[in-house]
Amino acid sequence: MTRIVVPDDFPIAISGTPAEQSLRSLGDVAICTERGADQEAELIRRIHDADVVLNIRGYTRFTANVIAACDRLRLISIWGTGTDNVDFAAARVRGITICNTPGVNARAVAEHTVALMLAVARRIPSMDAGVRAGEWPRGLLVQLEGKALGVIGLGAIGSRVAMLASAFGMRVLASTLDKDDGRAAAVGAAHVPLETLLADSDFVSLHLRLSEKTARYLDEARLALMKPSAFLVNTARAGLVDRDALLETLRDSRIAGAGLDVFHEEPIRADDPLLRLPNVVLTPHNAGSTAEVIDRGLHQAVENIRTFLSS
């Protein structure tokens, strides 16, 4: 019987759901609901005898060492879009198939992106805290209408963000790694070089996959192109931005602020300098955590396993 392991159902996502019932119809299933899959040795212990792994959390890293220790492993089915937690070269050598659920969370993440734009531009968290503390904070706020949004990456999420921004009356600029092929125009955006986007945008939103090509895509030089009044929003991957350069840029108010749902270390450490910056709004990498996304995504991840096993 096929051995299927979910090594990282923490916090719980699949346990007790209809998707779990579907998964159990496909083989001998073990679901681990305790923290620990972020540790290499523990992950190996959990999946060393697995034929199939259903990966729930991005903190689970399928390194070359992990893959080498799992002789039976044939498939890693990822719940979500990101695949940067898998060593593809090691998986390729072993003939392991990798699949994900692209686009399932696109609308939810796009909504969260706009929410972060509003939260940081309108200073909603700090004003809420002030009112609760008996203060009556005033001051001018920033509205979206009439501003320029720069969208870097026009996949399912970036394209949806562009469409939502247009509804706010924003002018949308777009930059892509590959040829545009009319994608920008299709969502009401103007395709421009990255340097132009950074210099002209009032908000910059990242929607690229993390890879060797895109790691530290926004480095010190590129961050320096942004307006002092501009805001950066990242609901993609923290590694797309040079961490030290971002901290210095925010500390020195070279940009107005940032809305971040992703971090270079997750969960974020209690002593992380980001926590002390007043011009940053932070959420715990949960932009796509809605009931609708969880339901559709888990079922798709299970169906990917079903398709693989029946082929």
Catalytic residues: 237, 266, 285
Residues 6+ apart with CB under 8 A from 220: 242, 245, 248, 249
Q: Which long-range contacts (CB under 8 A, 24 or more apart) does 93-96 make?
A: 94/67, 94/68, 96/67
**Could you tell me the sign of the dihedral formed by the alpha carbons of 48, 50, 52, 56, in that order?**
negative
Could you write out the DSSP letters of every residue in 131-182? HHTT---------STT-EEEEE--SHHHHHHHHHHHHTT-EEEEE-SS--TT
Residues 6+ apart with CB under 8 A from 226: 198, 199, 201, 204, 232, 249, 254, 255
